[in-house]
Structure 1
Amino acid sequence: MPADFPAWARVYAFFRRWPEHGLIAEFHDRLRGRVRERECHEAEPTAGIIDAQSVRAAATVPAASRGYDGGKKVPGRKRHIVTDALGLLLAVAVTAANIGDRDAAAGLLVLRRLHRDITLMWADGGYTGSVVGWCRDKLALTLEIVKRTDDMAGFVVLPRRCGRAHVRVADELPPLARDYETLPATSEAMIRWSMVTRMSRRLGRPRSAGRH
């Protein structure tokens, strides 16, 4: 712990208490609105991006909440994340790595009921199938699939994608490069705190010339 912090047990008690009362999410969401307004956008987004990232899990992660992502060849957990078009976090869920993207999407995309201005969501080919129709029929949400074509080789930035914003979130702080947390909810809280740090830095930077 930093030298000017209280004892570890006291700090951790607050860390555990704040998510239980929704304080971290509220703090995070208010900062997100401030960042969007500073960058000349409405506080509430109208579109978003959904994606997932598999990460290795440390020995402290119990077997009940870890798995193996056969596609990425990663044993551990998967972070399912929704961002706005600026790469700012809207929703996060941490699951075992063997949970498919489409299986986790339904739980994340109910954010449409919290962010009612969102009418469009972009996703990669991992989200094709019945979830597209489900979004349209149940949430009045358009899930647009952005696919690679056969003539694309190597790394290609696809149109209307978030530019791997969720990966930058996960790698912003060294402890988030690997999942060490016993509880998935604690991992989710760490990701939100990482975003709080990023947004605070963005708000602390001088405005660019020409910005209103």
Structure 2
Amino acid sequence: MTDAQWEQLEGLLPPPGNTGGKGGRPEKWCRRMVLDAIFYVVRGGIAWRQLPAEFPPYSTVYAVYRRWVRAGSWQRIHHALRDRTRVRAGRAPQPTAAIIDSPSVQGADTVPARSRGYDAGKKTNGRKRHIAVDTNGLLLAVVVTVASIQDRDAAIRLLAALRAGFATITMVWADAGYAGRLVRWAKTVARLTVTIVKRCDDIAGFTVLPRRWVVERTYSWIVKHRRLVRDYETRPDHHEAMIYIAMIYTMSRRLARSKPTAAA
């Protein structure tokens, strides 16, 4: 992590536990080193116990990661960086449209049977990542489920989270797997217009589809972090946190190397 990245992140970290009026000892390890270690695990795809000796003890790093998962800190850090990134790009902090998708990811042996399933279409045994992104590809919401669930069923949870977080969103684009009752539910309950972007049967081979390529590009950003190429997390909420951490690292790098631009 560069000095410029740390400058973006330092003020967003939750306060130390001993400053909240509940007692406790001051933190022993530098927060920058701890955050670097967490980024190292997510980016490199290693196990917590395999952290190099120059980092704090793996038990300390994992305890901080887990504590921030329980407190919802990763989401808050991510959302603050996303707003900054949108403003830096000349956009309003709150989006008005989103794109959703849900690829399946193979689960490792550390994923328990109770929280994994088999996606017959993709021939994948593991979990599904249901994500919503804005038109720039920045993450808005994520829900992790068993891979056996239908896209349109899990999308109800995703759109509910999207509506709860963003009152400004009115339009959502999705692929044909979301067609049918979800479109009606979104219109009547969530007050969202879901537009299905279909693939043209007359075109053979790969083709870039309008709007849908944005969310697919976001997945390419996510899987650059090797911890997310497969699912190694025992708990679904830990997997969601890993996705947020990957995007935190991506956006902090972007903000660190870019200069503010005036809004159009």
TM class by smaller structure: over 0.9
Trace 1:1-212 onto structure 2 (pairs within 5 A).
Answer: 1-110=51-160, 111-161=162-212, 162=214, 164-207=216-259, 211-212=261-262
Task: Describe the SS at the equivalent of 2:92.
Answer: coil
Q: In the alignment, is the contact (CA less than 8 A) between 1:119 and 1:141 conserved in 2?
A: yes
Residue 163 of structure 1, CA deviation = 5.2
SS in structure 1 opposite 2:109? coil
Between structures 1 and 2, the one with greater helix share = 2
Contact 1:81/1:89 (<8 A) preserved: yes
Structure 1's unaligned 5+ residue stretches are none
1:51, 1:166 within 8 Å by CA — same for their partners in 2? no
- What SS does the aligned partner of 1:199 have? helix
Q: Is this contact kept in 2: 1:78–1:97, CA < 8 A?
A: yes
Deviation sequence 1:123-169 (CA, Å, 0-9, x none): 00000011101111111110110001210211111112225133213
How far apart, CA to CA, are the structure 2 residues paired with 1:163 and 1:27?
Answer: 21
Tell me the alpha carbon deviations over residues 13-49 of structure 1, each in whole angstroms, 9 at most, x when there is no partner: 1111112111111110000000000011101110000
Length-normalised TM-score, structure 1 = 0.94
In the TM superposition, what whole-angstrom CA distance separates every residue of 1:62-117 from its partner, at most 9, and x where no partner exists?
11111111111112111111111111111111111111111110101012122011
Residues 149 and 204 (structure 1), Cα distance of their counterparts in 2 relative to 1, 3 Å cut: same
* Counterpart in the other structure of 2:19: none
Poorly superposed stretches of 4+, deviation over 6 Å: none
Letter in 1 for 2:55: F
* SS in structure 2 at match of 1:202: helix
Q: Give SS of 1:78's match.
A: strand
Equivalents in 2 of 1:188, 1:195: separation in Å? 11
Residues 2, 89 of structure 1: alpha-carbon distance in 2 compared, 3 angstrom cutoff? farther
SS in 2 for 1:164: helix
How far apart are residue 2 of structure 1 and its match?
Answer: 4.4
- Deviation, 1:4, is 4.0
Worse overlay, 50-59 or 164-173:
164-173
Cα deviation for residue 199 of structure 1 reads 0.3
CA–CA separation in structure 1 for the residues paired with 2:163 and 2:232: 30
Partner of 2:7: none
**Structure whose CA Rg is larger:** 2
**Structure ranking higher in strand proportion:** 1
Tell me how far apart the structure 1 counterparts of residues 102 and 218 of structure 2 sit (CA, whole Å). 8
Q: Give identity over the alignment, percent.
A: 51
The alignment of Structure 1 onto Structure 2 pairs a total of residues equal to 210
